[in-house]
Chains A and B, each alone.
Chain A
Amino acid sequence: MNSLKSSFRSLLYYPSAVLGILVVFLLVFTAVYAMIKIPYNEAIRLWRGGEEFWYQNPKFAPPSWINFFSSKKYAESFAVRTSDGSMVKEVTPGKEGTSTMEASYTFDFMSDYYPQDMILYLTSRYEEKQPFISAEWLTPDGRKLRIANLALSQKQTYRFSQDAKLKTKLRTDDILPALFSDPETGDLIKGQYQLLITGATFEAESDINIEFVFHGQVFGLAGTDHARRDLVLPLLWGAPVALAFGLIASLGTSVLTMIIAALGTWYGGWVDELIQRITEINLVLPFLSILIMIGTFYSRSIWVILGATILLSIFTGAIKGYRSIFVQVKESMYIEAARAYGASSPRIVFLYLIPRMIPLLIPGLVSAVPAFVFLEASLAVLGLGDPVLPTWGKIIENANSNGALYRGYYYWILEPATLLMITGLGFAMLGFALDRIFNPKLRDV
């Protein structure tokens, strides 16, 4: 055990191993953070949710940090509402239960592009008499535009870009450019804009709530996809899924392979023969095709695929590698001694043979992780990803099927791809370094 410890200490002499360890730690940290911040059920509910969850976000919006790399700035999306105070609302009571209301939101518009759309989501409470609002638009150059007068129903959506009356009034089909530019020159004006909404209710219990949604070109830390979903969610949640799939598959495969190889070598005879035959049969089986068939015909659940992956990966060439070493270990003195004092076969296999192999197991285990992480992504790219879980592969698949590369939504593919790449390279670098430390043949090479 001491030698194992010192072996791990010598990892620190390999810069690639240090980098790999760092990546693995970061991943574990991200995974834990994701699971605490967004619990499993919540994550799935959000990922599967449609417009009702994500209406505030624009579609196909790149992340807002692309503004750093671009001399022309894109408009950032936001949403404010009176219900949580992000939009200021003042209510002044009037006579006989009536009241007037004033809500306003002031924001700096510093983008070089016009926003995609602006939307008001209006909810109100009333018995018989509908509340009434009127919206006004204040530009930096001091103009005041009347946008709309509306009698509110319980729930109402007002899209600036779709208002036919406003189109005639502004004499244009594209309302948003008209709202954000000088009417004389047609140039875009940067500066402080204000949306002012005044309303009146005519009943004691009547109330108005306003949500103002601004769809710019960019959104948040990671951007959004075709279903307006914030990509932060699947990017964060991809980490625990990838880690779990990669580690469980790799651990299950290598440990089971080793145990089976040890049992085969120890008992010999027909057990050994059977294992060899199963290995040869497994080589004939088309691995990827079987996984695709399982995904298509039976279940796309990640756990079913994981089980099938482990089952198909046990009896591979690795079993022969372990076997050839076990054959040597079996003849060594300490096994002889164990036999002499009457240790049982299971005891020898599990306490004498297998622990000897742990130094060989660890590098193989770590190096195998990327293959399984990418296997999950590959299946997702073929459209066989888990139907409910948000994963990195799923994002790439969504992006691909929506033509992200053709239409220029590069962020959509690059973000999950970079994370996958970092994960794969991190484990691979660590695995390579471990291999060189634990494998004496390679140490000097």
Chain B
Amino acid sequence: MAVATRTPSENTLVKKTTHTSTFARVSRYVVVRLLVLFATVVIGIYLTILIANMGGYVDQIMKSEIRDRVTQSLGLNPAIKQMDPAVRKTLIEETIAKEEERLGLDIPIAIRNFRYLSNALTLQLGRAINMTSDSGSKQVRLILLERLPPTLLLMGISQLFLFFSSILLALNLSRRYGNFWDRAVVALSPTSAVPPWFYGIFLILIFAALLKILPFGGMVDSPPPSNPFDYSMSLLKHLTLPVISLVLSSFFLSIYNYRTFFLIYSSEDYVEMAKAKGLPSRDVERRYILRPTLPNIITNFALLIISLWTGATITETVFLWPGLGRTLYQAIGLYDIPIIVGSTIIYAYLLAMTVFLLDFIYALVDPRVKVGGR
């Protein structure tokens, strides 16, 4: 996922300008990079729209939405209500035709896709077709915002725990490389070939079906307890299994990867040198091992933060967790293209922003890296 690497052509482009000031170099780099990233997002979203749209699904759905809306709004008008049915029908048909023309549904689909694209890019997420939020709104923005907290809770707890615990444990293991725990982690790392939902099924079987101590799924008991303490206890109970399965499925591989990574860095000469100088191992770790690996760790952290947005579709589905991932899956099942496109565009923007910012963060943490140059 090393998105942030520079291409050779960009490097040569920058080399020519090494004589100019830092400001000119950075601003030039920023402009080029932003343009490239924006183009990437545009093409990515356009492709998503094409896939979600082919076969005219979006068309049919939009047309039926217009028909619904027009019939409803005209039906509410008392003046029109009293009209002759035939006259009323032609009036409705005319309004629908006008409305379709206004939204450009008479324009060929290839051109119209650009309209969806520009709406998505300007974050006009529009209205969902079939889904509604629990508060009854059809605004895509509101639906996504409503499902965001459960996903943030689930993914946040599991991913942050995974990230910090695996780095700490990996540091520990790399110090005591070759001992029992180290070999145990190496031996257990293939367990990460199994996805989280799969562990989820086993956990449900053991803790919900057999032992009956934890719930099968969902987010809180039904009806939700009114007392805040009971509510959070119930939430905690429902969180346990999904969090464990998310953690379990990446735990050992994550430790293994960091450990191997640290070990490779700790065999560098300057680490040997520092050890020979008699620096305490804590200092060696912090200054000579962690410091040069910081860019990679930060990249992983940034990608982790983005992954919070996507949620874990299948795990959420297996645990009936009302998060974004499951919403996306439901949206696809209901042909709700606005939600699919809305979720994708936000992910794309987040990713582009992270990739852009990472370049600057690299320059901050690693003195060898200069923004837009080497």
Q: Which of chain A's residues has its CB closest to B39's CB?
A: A277
Q: Is A285 touching B55 in the complex (CB atoms < 8 A)?
A: no
Does B169 belong to the interface (CB within 8 Å)? no
Q: Which of chain B's residues has its CB closest to A407's CB?
A: B209
Our pick among B48, B198, B310, B351 for the contact of A374 (Cβ within 8 Å) is B198
* B109-117, B126-134, B185-193: which lies at the interface: B185-193
* B99-107, B135-143, B313-321: which lies at the interface: B313-321
Q: Is B48 touching A286 in the complex (CB atoms < 8 A)?
A: yes
Task: Count A/B pairs, Cβ under 8 Å.
Answer: 144
Does A216 belong to the interface (CB within 8 Å)? no
Q: Is B344 touching A442 in the complex (CB atoms < 8 A)?
A: no
The contact string, 1 if C-beta is below 8 Å from chain A, for chain B 26-63, is 00000000001101110111011001101101000000
* A99-107, A152-160, A423-431: which lies at the interface: A423-431
Does A408 belong to the interface (CB within 8 Å)? yes
Residues in A whose Cβ lies below 8 Å from that of B73: none
Q: How far is the CA of A109 from the CA of B260 in the complex (A)?
A: 60
Q: Is A432 touching B40 in the complex (CB atoms < 8 A)?
A: no
Does A207 belong to the interface (CB within 8 Å)? no
The prevalent SS among residues of A at the interface is: helix
CB distance from A364 to the nearest CB of B (A): 13
CB distance from A417 to the nearest CB of B (A): 6
Interface residues of B in 331-347 (CB under 8 A from A): 332-333, 335, 340, 343-344, 347
* A84-92, A218-226, A288-296: which lies at the interface: A288-296
Our pick among B7, B192, B204, B340 for the contact of A289 (Cβ within 8 Å) is B340
Q: Is B194 touching A284 in the complex (CB atoms < 8 A)?
A: no
User: How many residues belonging to B are interface residues under a CB distance threshold of 8 Å?
Assistant: 62
Does A130 belong to the interface (CB within 8 Å)? no
Our pick among A289, A367, A405, A441 for the contact of B208 (Cβ within 8 Å) is A405
Known contacts A290-B51, A396-B201: A429-B190 contact under CB 8 Å? yes
Q: Is B260 touching A445 in the complex (CB atoms < 8 A)?
A: yes
Does B5 belong to the interface (CB within 8 Å)? yes
Residues in B whose Cβ lies below 8 Å from that of A378: 195, 197, 314
Does B2 belong to the interface (CB within 8 Å)? yes
Residues in B whose Cβ lies below 8 Å from that of A343: none
Residues in B whose Cβ lies below 8 Å from that of A371: 193
Q: Is B201 touching A285 in the complex (CB atoms < 8 A)?
A: no
Our pick among A288, A377, A427 for the contact of B313 (Cβ within 8 Å) is A288
Does B263 belong to the interface (CB within 8 Å)? yes
Residues in B whose Cβ lies below 8 Å from that of A374: 193-195, 198
CB distance from B32 to the nearest CB of A (A): 13
Q: Is A284 touching B5 in the complex (CB atoms < 8 A)?
A: no
Residues in A whose Cβ lies below 8 Å from that of B270: none
Q: Is B44 touching A296 in the complex (CB atoms < 8 A)?
A: no
Q: Is B45 touching A413 in the complex (CB atoms < 8 A)?
A: no
Q: Is B51 touching A293 in the complex (CB atoms < 8 A)?
A: yes
Does A381 belong to the interface (CB within 8 Å)? yes
Known contacts A285-B44, A428-B193: A293-B52 contact under CB 8 Å? yes
Residues in A whose Cβ lies below 8 Å from that of B360: none
Does A13 belong to the interface (CB within 8 Å)? no
CB distance from B35 to the nearest CB of A (A): 12
Our pick among A282, A320, A427, A442 for the contact of B193 (Cβ within 8 Å) is A427
CB distance from A118 to the nearest CB of B (A): 31
Q: Is A428 touching B177 in the complex (CB atoms < 8 A)?
A: no
Residues in A whose Cβ lies below 8 Å from that of B55: 297-298
The contact string, 1 if C-beta is below 8 Å from chain A, for chain B 206-238, is 001100000010000000000000000000000
Residues in A whose Cβ lies below 8 Å from that of B328: 286, 289
Does A272 belong to the interface (CB within 8 Å)? yes
Residues in A whose Cβ lies below 8 Å from that of B310: 286
Does B202 belong to the interface (CB within 8 Å)? yes
Residues in B whose Cβ lies below 8 Å from that of A283: 1, 3, 351
Residues in B whose Cβ lies below 8 Å from that of A42: none
Q: Is B7 touching A290 in the complex (CB atoms < 8 A)?
A: no
The contact string, 1 if C-beta is below 8 Å from chain A, for chain B 277-319, is 0000000000000000000000000000000001001100110
Residues in B whose Cβ lies below 8 Å from that of A432: 186, 189-190
Q: How far is the CA of A292 from the CA of B327 in the complex (A)?
A: 13
Does B352 belong to the interface (CB within 8 Å)? yes
Q: Is B189 touching A445 in the complex (CB atoms < 8 A)?
A: no
Q: How far is the CA of A40 from the CA of B316 in the complex (A)?
A: 35
Residues in B whose Cβ lies below 8 Å from that of A268: 8
Q: Is B187 touching A16 in the complex (CB atoms < 8 A)?
A: yes
CB distance from B184 to the nearest CB of A (A): 12
Q: Is A289 touching B198 in the complex (CB atoms < 8 A)?
A: no
Does A421 belong to the interface (CB within 8 Å)? yes
Does B123 belong to the interface (CB within 8 Å)? no
CB distance from B130 to the nearest CB of A (A): 13
Known contacts A293-B51, A405-B209, A410-B205: A284-B191 contact under CB 8 Å? no
Does A38 belong to the interface (CB within 8 Å)? no
Q: Is B201 touching A413 in the complex (CB atoms < 8 A)?
A: yes
Our pick among B44, B51, B192, B208 for the contact of A294 (Cβ within 8 Å) is B51
**What are 7 contact pairs spanning A and B, CB under 8 A?**
A272-B8, A290-B51, A382-B317, A405-B204, A405-B216, A421-B194, A425-B191
Taking A290-B51, A400-B318, A445-B260 as known contacts, 14 extra A-B pairs with beta carbons closer than 8 A to each other, sorted by chain A number, are: A16-B190, A273-B9, A285-B344, A289-B313, A289-B328, A293-B340, A296-B333, A370-B194, A378-B314, A405-B204, A405-B205, A405-B209, A428-B191, A442-B260
Closest 5 CB pairs of A and B: A284-B44, A428-B190, A428-B193, A370-B193, A424-B193
- Chain A residues engaging chain B, CB cutoff 8 angstroms: 16, 268-269, 272-273, 276-277, 280-286, 288-290, 292-294, 296-298, 317, 320, 367, 370-371, 374, 377-378, 381-382, 396, 400, 405-406, 408, 410, 413-414, 417, 420-421, 424-425, 427-429, 431-432, 441-442, 445
- Chain B residues engaging chain A, CB cutoff 8 angstroms: 1-3, 5, 7-9, 36-37, 39-41, 43-45, 47-48, 51-52, 54-55, 57, 177, 186-187, 189-195, 197-198, 201-202, 204-205, 208-209, 216, 260, 263-264, 310, 313-314, 317-318, 328-329, 332-333, 335, 340, 343-344, 347-348, 351-352, 355
